[in-house]
Chain A
Amino acid sequence: MLLNPLTLHLPKTRLEAARLYKELEDSKVLAGGTFLLNSMKLLKTKGTKTARNVLSLAKVEDLKGVTFQGDTLTIKAMTRINDLLASPLPDGHLKILHTVCKNISTNPIRNMATVGGNLTCRYTWTEMGAVMIALDAKMHFLGPDGKEDIIAPEDFFKNAARSEKLFTHVTIKTQGVARTAYRRVKKTVHVDIPLLAICVKTEIKDKKWYNTRIGINNGSAFAQRDPVLEEFLNKSSSSPDLGKEALNHLTNTIYDTRSSDYKQHMFRVSLKSAIEEISQKGTL
């Protein structure tokens, strides 16, 4: 057997799942399984104990799907990465989500892995955190009493991606003139987990940047914003040199300054090109 003995729980409703999430001891939530089952198998090979209870969300239909109503995009937690990739998105900056999905791992993984799993699995290198921060998304959590908490992703990750309640969906408001750029660098050619992921979102009027949000995933810590860079860009205008100048205005601790020269270089190259991409569009 690849896995230690476990009890599988298969709730059918969100509330039932939220109650079990609160009640079950020694438990893990199973979304797509690409992180959880792999790590449980690995721990078993090392002789380590694994969770006795597994709370599967596979049969909770109300946790699946992507909808767009009014000015709000809703992505439910159990939406598979390839299902989000196949979902029509409103014109504008939210289309960056398709780029993000397209660059996650391999095809069978994208068929299995979920948006919720990517956000809440507590692996520091997953992609969606930085993107949701940049897009100013809101994460929704459901308690056993049916009450909902709404939390900004940067606050969720500041709390080391821990929650007392069940993550159910994410909402993102459209912003008509916003622009985005995304960069993801693989750890190695053969290991398709990200070394880093960067998402930049801004609004531009008369070449001037405002409401800029920078989501950074350095792989070592949970995704976070770069306030120094955001402040600099919010005082800047699109220009050919903006990407280069921006590199002098970073919150250096975020960029994992103790890491290898290669990673530092890739951070600078990726940030510069993402800002240049937006800046060039912003001068049109």
Chain B
Amino acid sequence: MRALTWHGKHDVRVDTVDDPEILNPRDAIIKITSTAICGSDLHLYDGYIPTMKAGDILGHEFMGEVVEIGSGSTLKKGQRVVVPFTIACGSCYHCGKQQFSACDNGNPADNQDIAQEVYGHPMSGLFGYSHMTGGYAGGQAEYVRVPFSDVGPIVIPDGIDDDKVLFLSDILPTGWQAAEFAQIEPGDTVAVWGCGPVGLFAVQSAFLMGAERVIAIDHFPHRLELARKFGAETINFEESQTYEALMEMTGGIGPDACIDSVGLEAHGMFFDNIVDQIKASTFLGTDRTHSIRQAIIACRKGGRVSMPAVYGGFVDKFPLGAFMEKGLTLKTGQTHVQRYLPGLLNAIMEDKIDTTFLISHRMGLEDAPKGYEMFKNHQNEVTKVVLKPGQTFAA
């Protein structure tokens, strides 16, 4: 089959590799019909995530048709499914508590060592996202092997277009969980850092959960325009001072809840960010974290901070004093995708959540390297690239 493979920083290629096979009873093989490039794939593309190996197949947002099943799968050939990016067994203690991204068994035993050393505990496996999270082949390919196919994938009713449901695989539940973790109460003002796909879904989710106001922060005018369409007020941090603006817009109180959906590659020419960039390029520290610092400083006393953004390593200058003195609560984590799928599929079918607005570019699989390059360098216009294996598109 053809698959998008990682070979190093800013070097991804479409190669011919072996077709996947059923290896365990609960496996299924999916023929990919739609697969997206995620903002977090850019962290791999930019070489920020350790434990990648040349030839790794990327992609963790995908859906397709079931073409083969193991004896323990509950899927049927021909069904259309969306696959969660988190690989969870459904039978361990954490899955029982619906903490699917903390699954004990989704990550192969040998790969768990790395995360155990670095984080103290291994987390669930993830598709196409380095060997620390399992080394699983991803879905930017013609086919993919899906473990625990009786637990993860959600079957999509006929007649619903791929583009409406594809984002159930990651970014929609991630934005939803971000808003849920912000513990929004009716009348709340919620600030969202980053108007990428997760931030934009967090904006929609926050309103659905009863937020009175949402303030979206970014520097790409087109992305801020998308947030405004969903009813958010906006701050362009290149034109306005974010902290001062948030304080004035909330009558000096500060947002009740702050959501950081920017993560470890925060943009912007801030002093701490520049220091972080120098450190990142010299391996002195790995995460650039302006957005989470600002969220903690801006958040009202006793407020909540939710952090769906991906961080991988260590930071300094974390405003621990502000966090403690103001009595904030921080909730974070990889998304427990499986927990949210039925409810979010319903919300899509009832037109409560719009997903297709996000897709700016559709391409064939062979054009995937171009898709990465565009997504990386033109973030204002390129909000989401969806690859359609087996289809070709006019340039």
Q: Do A and B come from one complex?
A: no
